Amino acid sequence: MEFPTDLKYTKNDEWVQVEGNIATVGITDYAQDQLSDIIFMEVTAEIGEELDKDATVAEVESVKAAAFIYMPVSGVIVETNAELHDTPEMINADPYGAAWMFKFEIANPVELDDLLDATAYEKYCQEREH
């Protein structure tokens, strides 16, 4: 299981890569492993839409479960990964790379302080295994 140290994480199993005032979001290796074979992914938010922290942005379905993807912090959607609609299996193959789900402009950078670092997220995942 991978936990890249250059990312931040949520307890909803999203990863966040911050570059300036733009954040890129996807689901973690742990999440894709728990979901198993992903067969559907749709970003339900619109480009330009302003969303609060914890608002629903996308939905992922696998052969065994469905999950919602949430905004890790408040912001405005600026881009979505349209390729995932046609090839959702990329989420299983490359959760931290090609399978990013959406990008947004950060509205309140202070909210980033609530995200977990890789060590804390890995510990959180291990706690849920027991």
Output the pLDDT for position 78. 98
- Of the options 3.90.1150.10, 3.10.20.30, 2.40.50.100, 3.40.50.880, the CATH number for the domain spanning 8-108: 2.40.50.100
The predicted model gives 56-71 an average pLDDT of 96
Q: What distance in Å separates the CA atoms of residue 46 and residue 63, rounded to the nearest whole number?
A: 26
The predicted model gives 45-50 an average pLDDT of 97
Give the Å distances, CA to CA, from 86 to 8, 42, 66, 107.
27, 10, 17, 30
pTM over 0.85: yes
Longest CA–CA separation in the chain, Å: 41
Confidence of residue 129 (pLDDT cuts 50, 70, 90): confident
Confidence of residue 116 (pLDDT cuts 50, 70, 90): very high
What value does the mean pLDDT of the chain take? 96
